Structure 1
Amino acid sequence: MNTPPVTTLLVANRGEIARRVIHTCRALGIGTVAVHAPREETAPHVVEADTAVPLPVPPGGGPVDAYLDPAAIVAAARAAGADAVHPGYGFLSENPALARAVVEAGLTWVGPSADAIERMGAKTRAKEIARAAGVPVADALNPEDVRVEDLPVLVKASAGGGGRGMRVVHDLADLPAAAADARTEAASAFGDPTVFCEPYVERGRHIEVQILADAHGTVWALGERDCSAQRRHQKVIEETPAPGLPGDLRRDLHEAARRMAAAIGYVGAGTAEFLVPVHPPAEDDPTAFGVPVFLEMNTRLQVEHPVTECVTGLDLVEWQIRVAEGDRLPAADPPPPVGHAVEARLYAEDPRGGWRPRTGVLTAFDVPAATARFAPPTGFGVRLDAGVEAGDEVGTDFDPLLAKVVAHGRDRRDALRRLAAALTGARLHGVGTNRDLLVRTLRHPGFVDAADRPWDLHTGFLTGDRLTALAAPLAAPDTEELAALAAALASAEAARTGTAVPPGIPAHWRNLPSGPHVRRYTTDDGREISASHRTVRGAPLPERPGTRVRSVAADRVVLEVDGLRRAHTVHFAGGRVHIDTPNGSVALTPVDPLPAPEVAVDPGALPAPMPGTVTSVDVTVGEKVRAGQTLLRMEAMKMEHRITAPAAGAVREIPVAAGRRVSAGTPLAVLDYEGRSS
């Protein structure tokens, strides 16, 4: 029986992936329906869809829960007259209940069957299928069955991915608490608390194979992606082809993925994920790669699918829809890849502060190097898939992903260079991001040389001392000094042009000699920077040696430093100054010369470092605690964050309870520290 063509499609998701699906639907002439939680009425995916339907929040739930009710999704599709549903990724994308509900409602489900989702979406069952297909697998253990000889292990959520519901355990005594934490996080993110354990490989390459299969028996393996650069078990940089992967290993992984898909009659897009141990070559073992093991199969589109689209020229969302309509893949084999593509995930988070989420209003959001949005660039270039626009508010209810920036180059070095330059030149104001970490990683010798030294790139790449170095600000101290000077000059110019000044009076003119103009600023990490200049014959003269002012405007300052000219774009917003330079971006907060008196704060109070929800209180009033002990746990941007004791002491007060939503700065606990008076 022929499936009728899709005329109107509901995207059961939000943010960047919803916009991505809408983009393809518009090109295909398919109407679109967006769904949204409360207070998302002006979100980009809602504005861009033809129709929008609000989702109800269940009693006691939050905005995320609005997206986790299959019945509400189907009701929204019916209300809007949609005849198809695309799940995107995350939320209910790997929940068979939604697939069944959509089909039972007589709608077209753009994804694999509910049976395939159950068989492959449950990671423990997927391992059994892989083993039956002759694919090596990592053993899956119940947390209760883990023994000392099994350590270290990785606790994983069975129903989802994206780093949520994962914990590494090296000590058996820590396993019960880690499993409990993982269950809580998995239930919140995926609606399913089931977890399992598998052996943890300290040094491995995370390789995944993109599958696309039709209902007529054709299964494509659309190349592999390397996703080894991760933080908290969540991917940060992905690329295709995988650098340094031997040809025979690449073919084996592709064939293993095809066999698994064929074994269950898989239809649609999916991804088979493998972990390949890596080590420096030795005389008795010249290869850098060990035996790969199957990890899981994602029965949905992946976040990193744009890199595959860039090298193949395919629109995977279009093919998801066409396969759902019954179309055949046009050939037995997929198109060969062209060039190399790398994707960087731009997160609203602080890599130097334990990956804490950053919130606020995006006063500017622009990637000038991007020549395409939600589609591969023509020829080689940069693609931008963003879930936000300038003016949007970034909160803590959802994932911190702001955008994906993708570069397609002739080869790997070309793609890395294009992507690093595009991120460096991006204007990202108002909300802190991981941009500097991404740029430093893309330029790090261990990452750049991964094709020649494949053992240097592994899932632990962004850890330890290397992470500390990579998370450092991209702007050097001299760049920050010049940025502060540019901010001071632009501020003075803005004040002058905004004041009634007689015609012909030059900038910075004074009728009496005066001392230097000094302005002070603080950086995001609390450091103070000052900038000073004098006015000589109406022209600003910096007191910084070797520095001259070439031009000044309220939004652009050109400085000459030791004979080299540097342009600074200056943007004032939200009480801060953002300065973009070729050597990095700097955000500064002006220091008030006459600050208002500060309210006294109890020295033992521990404020919330971000807005979020308190998920548990792990101590009681009067309890003695040690330095580093977990006091409370918060959830923000779908990740758990622990509030720990900075020093040993006793708990004097816990003014919050589990389930309470708090704003940044809200007191969470008050301690009396040992050896200090309260």
Structure 2
Amino acid sequence: MKLNQKTYPLEGLNPLIIGRGPVRLEAVEVFKSLHVKKMGILLSRQDAYAYPYAQAPELKCLPENCHVHIVDDYIPHNESIHDFLDAILAICKQEGYRSVFAGYGFLSENPALAKAVQNAGLYFIGPSASVSEKAGAKDKAKITAKSVGASCVPGENALLGLAYMMQDMAIDDFEYFSFSSKMAEKWSQKHQGFDGQSYDQILQQLQRKVENGLNAHEQLVDDKWVIQAVLFSLFKLWKEFPTYSIRIKAIYGGGGKGQRVIVPGTTEEHIKEALQSVWIESNANSTLSNKSCVIELNIESIRHWEVQLIGNGRWCVALGGRDCSIQRHEQKLIEFSLSEATLKGQDLETLEALQADAIKFGRAVGLDSVSTYEAIVNTQDQRHFFMEMNTRLQVEHRVSELLYGLRFSLGEQTIYVDHLIHVMALLAVYGHDLPEPELVPKHNHSLEVRINAMNKALKPAPGGLIESWSQSHAHEIRDDQGISRLNPDTDYPMPYFISGSYDSNLALSLVVGHSFDACVAQMLHVLNLMDIAGRYVELNREALIGMLSVIQARQSHWHAPAVFSTAWAGQYLVLAAHLQLHLNELQLAQLNPHRVIAWALTGDNAILWPFPGCIDSSSLAKLKHLLADFKIIEKIQPEVFTSLQITPSAELILDPPVEQGDGEIRSPQSGVYYGQSAPGEPAFITLGQLIKKGETLYIIEAMKMFNTIKAPFDMIVEDLFFENTAVVQKGDVICKFRHA
């Protein structure tokens, strides 16, 4: 569409919104502000009811011109993706929607979605299919990154090509196969069309052949050889880097989903189990799924930085960076802005280099919407490596959105844009005709915390019922899916059930300030005022208060720079676990260790006991004596804190394991129960069945992560208490048995 010289109209965009999570209501409100004539949202059957357990809290605050449409589920299995896309397009045709907005999650990074929408003559509000194919798949993205001069983590990114070569030559001798020059020569002698190509070039060509076969519903490589290729890739990396752990990542996915870290010495059986989990979580466990993965070194001491990109296929600009290093189990917890105006020294040089690499990458793939260039920065020497490109709107996009606005100019006409979703809509409609924008600084710093359904150990904790949530603070920007909003008919809160089927993130809370320290102080104030009530609700708010209190104390006592590695949250948990042990010994286990840490560092009594009478004078005296001996200030000194060794025992102290009853198997965690590996597959266990030690009993999905539960010994199942996809709580009896 050509630009109108006087305006950039979007009223006729009529979008169908198919994302889930906080972005869905955010998109509704942005499109409402753009005065679109009509819009719709897509809900799964599970979400499509409002009371008494609202799974789609947005339903109570939708504008009149927003319509609701229902599908069976948000993420179809591979065999039904095309039927699913046909259903979306049928809704668009029937209702007159002219565009589709996918946000994050869902199928937002799947090229099939963008391709189907574009082929139907509709606008896809997000990166095109071409960009997703070039940059969204982690294996192809690493090739592009290398081509523009960016450093990449050592590893294998043509796994299916390697598997095809191993299968064709029937070679599973890793020592023999590790001589790449010899294998390239042997392959060229056996097959025509490969003369003069290097080993890596041959693998890339074979990778494309296998993927083209999958697109044509033809499986060219048996899963056995994909597994062998994974084992060989691990063997090859460990031969060169024997002390490093190695990460296996599905080529599509994000947020920790579809990846596992393998440590040296892991048995072949456990590696295969980890690979199966990667495939299950990335919806790639069926016959014609793309099972390709990236195998790469897992560099332990890193900072996780990313650059927000915007492009129209001809120009590409960066909106500063974000530090997402404070995370646990790949789940981001605290994110803050990085800008050239506020960084100094090596950090500034690193950001400038990353932005330059990101822009070159964006231009190389013809970026035509928003995407995020993700990198890891070595804390020891500041070397940075390309990690992946997220060809979608990131959950944390508002961190950058609060840093800069965008001014588009065409002749004497200009338009100022505040929201990235608005930018995405403009790019979808106007494309190459949209001029390169000017960045307009808005705030010096921004900081975001993710309010997640997590327990004290920062593990997923589904199954609770939120009965009320206070409204956002005057200086808080909050995206909470509408959970905190009142029922418009009664002016009373509506309950929200925390399902185990979805991401643990419930809300995003953001603040802005003149400095990083000011943002930390403001966020502590916001979290302390936040009031959330309900039953069986476990959130990470207390842990966030504890972590931010440690950060604030470090900044004020030692003026420590805001440098965090991805190990930081784990080190904080070690501190909390040590304190929990002492609280247990003094019979003060009812006190949350995260709140105790915050109270010890801030002296704010409201942090320790938000409700009157929750601690008596005797307990308070014991607590003060404990903290005097614990010397928390000494423990958070930067050099002491960063030396804390992260061990599994810390999580076990904060989240004690379930004691199994005699003749009973109890769930070790809350989540969704699966009694089969995939729809249509046989059940793992049936009544009267003999189960051998080590065989799978069931799978628990806890907010995107799958945990396979094995039989601890031979047994015969006598009773089953849950059906497939039921939500179970930690400690629930799954089945009864007798010893075989």
TM-score by structure 1 length?
0.71
How do residues 210-359 of structure 1 correspond to structure 2 at under 5 angstroms?
A: 210-215=308-313, 217-241=314-338, 246-279=347-380, 289-313=381-405, 314-326=418-430, 333-336=438-441, 338-352=443-457, 355-359=459-463
Residues 649 and 672, structure 1, Cα contact 8 Å, conserved in 2: no
Kindly indicate whether structure 1 or structure 2 has the higher relative contact order, using CA contacts under 8 Å at least 6 residues apart. 2
Counterpart check, 1:653 vs 2:717: yes
> What is residue 128 of structure 1 aligned with on the other side?
143
Counterpart check, 1:640 vs 2:706: yes
Shift of 1:661: 2.5
Question: Alignment partner of 2:366: what SS?
Answer: coil
Shift of 1:393: 2.1
CA distance in 1: counterparts of 2:369 and 2:608, whole angstroms: 54
> What is residue 576 of structure 1 aligned with on the other side?
none
Describe the shift of the 1:156–1:622 C-alpha distance in structure 2 as closer, same or farther (beyond 3 A): closer
Shift of 1:71: 2.2
Shift of 1:238: 1.0
Shift of 1:631: 5.5
Describe the shift of the 1:17–1:332 C-alpha distance in structure 2 as closer, same or farther (beyond 3 A): closer
Shift of 1:392: 2.1
- Residue identity matched to 1:45: E
Question: Alignment partner of 1:342: what SS?
Answer: strand
> What is residue 14 of structure 1 aligned with on the other side?
20
Describe the shift of the 1:23–1:416 C-alpha distance in structure 2 as closer, same or farther (beyond 3 A): same
Shift of 1:445: 3.6
Counterpart check, 1:423 vs 2:436: no
- Residue identity matched to 1:418: Q
How do residues 385-404 of structure 1 correspond to structure 2 at under 5 angstroms?
A: 385-387=479-481, 388-389=483-484, 390=493, 391-404=495-508
CA distance in 2: counterparts of 1:545 and 1:291, whole angstroms: 48
Describe the shift of the 1:276–1:104 C-alpha distance in structure 2 as closer, same or farther (beyond 3 A): same
Shift of 1:348: 1.4
Answer with 632-641 or 413-422: which moved more.
Answer: 632-641
Residues 229 and 237, structure 1, Cα contact 8 Å, conserved in 2: yes
Higher percent of residues as helix: 2
Question: Alignment partner of 1:146: what SS?
Answer: helix
How many residue pairs match? The answer is: 540
Counterpart check, 1:208 vs 2:315: no
- Residue identity matched to 2:386: F
Residues 36 and 52, structure 1, Cα contact 8 Å, conserved in 2: no
Shift of 1:128: 0.6
CA distance in 1: counterparts of 2:74 and 2:349, whole angstroms: 54
CA distance in 2: counterparts of 1:320 and 1:176, whole angstroms: 40
Residues 43 and 70, structure 2, Cα contact 8 Å, conserved in 1: yes
Question: Alignment partner of 1:334: what SS?
Answer: strand
Answer with 440-449 or 178-187: which moved more.
Answer: 440-449
How do residues 245-644 of structure 1 correspond to structure 2 at under 5 angstroms?
A: 246-279=347-380, 289-313=381-405, 314-326=418-430, 333-336=438-441, 338-352=443-457, 355-369=459-473, 371=474, 381-387=475-481, 388-389=483-484, 390=493, 391-430=495-534, 431-445=537-551, 449=555, 453=560, 457-463=564-570, 466-467=573-574, 469=576, 472-476=592-596, 486=613, 603-608=662-667, 609-614=669-674, 621=690, 623-624=692-693, 632-643=698-709
Residues 37 and 67, structure 1, Cα contact 8 Å, conserved in 2: no
Residues 183 and 194, structure 1, Cα contact 8 Å, conserved in 2: no
Within the candidate set 119, 126, 132, 1:104 is matched to 119
Residues 399 and 638, structure 1, Cα contact 8 Å, conserved in 2: yes
Question: Alignment partner of 1:668: what SS?
Answer: strand
> What is residue 166 of structure 1 aligned with on the other side?
259
Shift of 1:671: 6.6
Describe the shift of the 1:544–1:224 C-alpha distance in structure 2 as closer, same or farther (beyond 3 A): closer
> What is residue 283 of structure 2 aligned with on the other side?
187
Gaps of 5+ in 1: 280-288, 372-380, 488-528, 532-541, 547-600
Residues 719 and 737, structure 2, Cα contact 8 Å, conserved in 1: no
Within the candidate set 109, 113, 118, 2:128 is matched to 113
Answer with 226-235 or 336-345: which moved more.
Answer: 336-345
Shift of 1:212: 0.7
TM-score by structure 2 length?
0.66
CA distance in 2: counterparts of 1:92 and 1:60, whole angstroms: 7
Shift of 1:408: 0.7
Describe the shift of the 1:322–1:51 C-alpha distance in structure 2 as closer, same or farther (beyond 3 A): same
Question: Alignment partner of 1:462: what SS?
Answer: helix
- Residue identity matched to 1:146: L
Residues 221 and 334, structure 1, Cα contact 8 Å, conserved in 2: no
Describe the shift of the 1:453–1:68 C-alpha distance in structure 2 as closer, same or farther (beyond 3 A): farther
Describe the shift of the 1:46–1:622 C-alpha distance in structure 2 as closer, same or farther (beyond 3 A): closer
CA distance in 2: counterparts of 1:108 and 1:602, whole angstroms: 57
Within the candidate set 30, 40, 56, 2:47 is matched to 40
CA distance in 2: counterparts of 1:67 and 1:404, whole angstroms: 33
Gaps of 5+ in 2: 4-8, 51-55, 160-229, 406-417, 485-492, 581-591, 600-604, 622-659, 678-682
Shift of 1:196: 2.1
Counterpart check, 1:664 vs 2:728: yes
Shift of 1:181: 1.1
CA distance in 2: counterparts of 1:35 and 1:12, whole angstroms: 5
Shift of 1:463: 1.8
- Give per-residue Cα distances to partners, 1:394-437, cap 9 Å, x unaligned: 22222221100011111100001111221121111112211111
Question: Alignment partner of 1:136: what SS?
Answer: coil
Residues 38 and 54, structure 1, Cα contact 8 Å, conserved in 2: no
CA distance in 2: counterparts of 1:85 and 1:636, whole angstroms: 29
Higher percent of residues as strand: 1
Describe the shift of the 1:70–1:409 C-alpha distance in structure 2 as closer, same or farther (beyond 3 A): same
